[in-house]
Amino acid sequence: MIRFTNVCMMFHGRPVLKDFTMEVPSGHTVVILGGSGGGKTTVLRLILGLLRPDSGSIRVDGREIVGLPERNMVAIRAHMAMVFQGSALFDSLTVRENVGYRLYEEQSLPDDAIERKIVESLCFVGLEDTLEKMPAELSGGMRKRVAIARALACSPEVILYDEPTAGLDPINTHLINELICRLQKEECLTQVVVTHDLDTAYRVADRLIMIHRGEKLFDGTLDMLKTADDPRIRTFLRPHEILATPGCFPDKDGGIRVVAPTMDEETPA
């Protein structure tokens, strides 16, 4: 279980997360949705203990991580893996070396066990035939799947995904979504998926949280999200429908501004 309670985070005096509270129960997949700059990646970096909040509490499996010395954080981080925005594979290493990188660094398993883990993880994502390839030889979708294999190789309990389907075509998006669903169902992993891709959000989420400019706008199920009244949520989910309405424009807060037609304007049929 990951629990944020009243977390506030500032960058250069500017609030980026405001009184943010959330729970990610063990074995569940929680999606964090929101527009650019809303604070989604910041939440993932706080879970990993890479950032410290200005105030509030962050608990991982009941243990407070705010203020925890780095040497103790390392042990907590060992149960987590992150799939970075853009995959973040090492260009000069083969797929085998990328997937096994953390295990070779940690040296907690013998080499043959590491090799088995690498192959198992690549089999899970359907890329066992790419072991000796370089990242540059792979498509964007394949690189994302290698990044998931790399996360899996460390046998994590928690996987954090930052925009796992950004820039992918519908088929690759579908493949990644299915992998995320299988990891929950078959491996009972706890997952936090940051995305602004609604197909991914709708497919993988047990629960969804929407952040807007550092504030939590929504926390609930998909059905609740789809029927939410907040204009900022409606605009995010259905921009074409809302903004195509005559007289509706996006406002600076991510909501909608309704402008009454003037006498000179044609009245829509």
Ligand X SMILES: Nc1ncnc2c1ncn2[C@@H]1O[C@H](COP(=O)(O)OP(=O)(O)OP(=O)(O)O)[C@@H](O)[C@H]1O
Question: What residue 107 binds from Mg ion, ligand X, none (CB within 5 to 8 A, per partner kind)?
Answer: none
Candidates 38-46, 58-66, 73-81, 235-243; binding stretch for Mg ion (CB under 5 A): 38-46
Give start and end residues of each alpha helix (H) in the chain. 40-47, 70-77, 95-106, 111-124, 140-153, 170-187, 198-204, 222-226, 231-237, 239-243
Name which of 16 and 83 has its Cβ closer to ligand X: 16
- In angstroms, give the least distance from the CB of 64 to ligand X: 22
For residues 237 and 97, give the distance between their C-alpha atoms in angstroms, rounded to a whole number: 40
Name which of 40 and 96 has its Cβ closer to ligand X: 40
Which residues between 90 and 129 bind Mg ion (CB under 5 A)?
none
Sign for the pseudo-dihedral over CA of 255, 198, 205, 166: negative
Binding site for ligand X (CB under 6 A): 11-12, 16, 34, 36-42
- In angstroms, give the least distance from the CB of 35 to Mg ion: 10
Name which of 42 and 191 has its Cβ closer to ligand X: 42
- In angstroms, give the least distance from the CB of 182 to ligand X: 25
Q: What is the 3-state secondary structure (H, E, C) of 121-148?
A: HHHHCCCHHHCCCCHHHCCHHHHHHHHH
- Whether residue 177 contacts residue 200, with contact meaning beta carbons closer than 8 Å, is answered with yes
Question: What residue 39 binds from ligand X, Mg ion, none (CB within 5 to 8 A, per partner kind)?
Answer: ligand X
- In angstroms, give the least distance from the CB of 209 to ligand X: 12
- 55-60 vs 2-11, strand pairing mode: antiparallel
- In angstroms, give the least distance from the CB of 171 to Mg ion: 24
Name which of 39 and 100 has its Cβ closer to ligand X: 39
Size of the site for Mg ion (CB under 5 A): 1
Name which of 114 and 209 has its Cβ closer to ligand X: 209
- In angstroms, give the least distance from the CB of 12 to ligand X: 6
Longest CA–CA separation in the chain, Å: 79
Name which of 86 and 247 has its Cβ closer to ligand X: 86
Q: Is 41 one of the binding residues for Mg ion (CB under 5 A)?
A: yes
Token pair of 172 as six digits: 């690759």
Q: Is 173 one of the binding residues for Mg ion (CB under 5 A)?
A: no
Sign for the pseudo-dihedral over CA of 221, 224, 227, 233: negative
- Whether residue 245 contacts residue 234, with contact meaning beta carbons closer than 8 Å, is answered with no
| Residue bearing tokens 């047990």 | 206
Candidates 10-18, 33-41, 91-99, 204-212; binding stretch for Mg ion (CB under 5 A): 33-41
For residues 99 and 117, give the distance between their C-alpha atoms in angstroms, rounded to a whole number: 9
Q: Which residues bind Mg ion (CB under 5 A)?
A: 41
